[in-house]
Structures are given as structure tokens and as C-alpha cells.
Chain A
């Protein structure tokens, strides 16, 4: 988290949203920085769809709870449309967050420890930071 500074734009990996919700910790700290406007969080419609599916299928969230999670994220982060919505039908590629990071001019991508995104650090000039 020390790599992040006030005013940074951060593309948020789905794993961070899940980690923040389920376990709090550093991921939750990042969400709260976004809530207060100290950093600008960005995501995309496809990534929100991925999160919704994970919460419903993987953790048995109710429809209402998923709705509230997405509503909260829409109030906290910038949600961008995706260039290729048709791709969503085939599942979300893990690198979708890099795409939104480029388009939103993000300073970095935030993910969690052990993420499959970590090897992509620096691709296209965007750091991938594991926040815990």
C-alpha cells in the first residue's frame, strides 16, 4: 500500500473487491481510500459482471446483496464500458483489468498476493501491485 499515493488512479482487480468484502485488511483500506476520494478507483462493466457471478455462484450471495455490492462499487469507483462486450459471453479474461487500466490512464493495477496478474507487472508500462 505504501506504493500508492494520493491522487493515484488505480484499476481494481476482482480479487481485491472480493478480498475487501470477505476479509477486510489491506484490500478494504484501498476501498476506503476510494470512498474518501484520496485515490481514484476504476473498474469496468465486465469486471463487475465477473464479481457478481463469483459472489452468487461461489459464495451464495442473494440477488439483493449482489445488487447492493454493485451499487456500492458504482458509487465508489468509476465504471467504464468495455470495448468488446461480446467477449463477456465467453468469460472474463484475467487480463481485462489491464485493459481498463490502460483506457482509464491508471497509475497501477491493484491485485492480491499470489494473483495470476502478478507476472504481468509492467506490461504496457503499468505496474501490478499486490496489496495483500
Chain B
């Protein structure tokens, strides 16, 4: 399936480009692939950090470290 692709121009310090090219050689990949992967990783990390912030606030509201995760799970388990 074809993806919508947009070609963008970015300014990157020369030393960073050199390091990127070294990795490209090592991994037999091209610059575009590595840029895409680096961007995906960064965006995924941001999503995680947002979830962490939300979750930490929920945890604090629910009693912080006194939360018993195992007990919560056990209360959902089927009775046998």
C-alpha cells in the first residue's frame, strides 16, 4: 500500500550528519530510513511521557505508592 509522503528540508549540524552516515554504513540503511525511525521513536517517546504524566497524577490521587496493583488485579480475577 502506498503511503502519503512529503519531502521536507531540515537543517542539521554537520557533526550529526557525519554520525548518522556512520550508522547508515554500519546498518546498511539510507539516511531517510534513519531519519524516519528517529522521528518515530521521538514521537512515541513523547506519547509515553504524556501518558506517564497523566498516570502519575492518577496514582498520586489514588494514594501513590500505597496502591496495591496485585490486589486490584486479583479483585478482577474470576472466582475459582
Does A83 interact with chain B (Cβ within 8 Å)? no
Does B44 interact with chain A (Cβ within 8 Å)? yes
Q: Check if B52 sits within 8 Å of A21, measured CB to CB.
A: yes
Q: Which of B41, B56, B69 contacts A112 (CB 8 A)?
A: B69
How far, in angstroms, from A28 to B21 measured CA to CA in the complex?
A: 31
Q: Check if B73 sits within 8 Å of A72, measured CB to CB.
A: no
Interface residues of A in 38-70 (CB under 8 A from B): 50, 53-54, 58-61, 65, 68-69
Q: Which of A22, A36, A72 contacts B59 (CB 8 A)?
A: A22
Contacts of A104 in B (CB 8 A): none
Q: Check if B76 sits within 8 Å of A24, measured CB to CB.
A: no
Q: Check if B51 sits within 8 Å of A115, measured CB to CB.
A: no
How far, in angstroms, from A22 to B67 measured CA to CA in the complex?
A: 9
Contacts of A36 in B (CB 8 A): 41
Contacts of A58 in B (CB 8 A): 62, 72
Q: Which of B47, B76, B78 contacts A68 (CB 8 A)?
A: B47
How far, in angstroms, from A36 to B37 measured CA to CA in the complex?
A: 10
Q: How many residues of A contact B (CB 8 A)?
A: 35
Question: 11 A-B residue contacts at CB 8 Å?
Answer: A15-B73, A22-B59, A22-B69, A23-B65, A36-B41, A54-B72, A58-B72, A60-B58, A69-B51, A114-B70, A115-B70
Known: A14-B73, A19-B69, A28-B52. 18 other contacts (CB 8 A): A21-B55, A22-B58, A22-B67, A23-B59, A32-B48, A35-B41, A54-B72, A58-B72, A60-B58, A61-B54, A61-B58, A72-B47, A91-B77, A91-B78, A94-B73, A94-B77, A114-B70, A116-B73
Which A residues lie at the B interface, using CB under 8 A? 14-15, 18-19, 21-24, 28, 31-32, 35-36, 50, 53-54, 58-61, 65, 68-69, 72, 75-76, 90-94, 112, 114-116
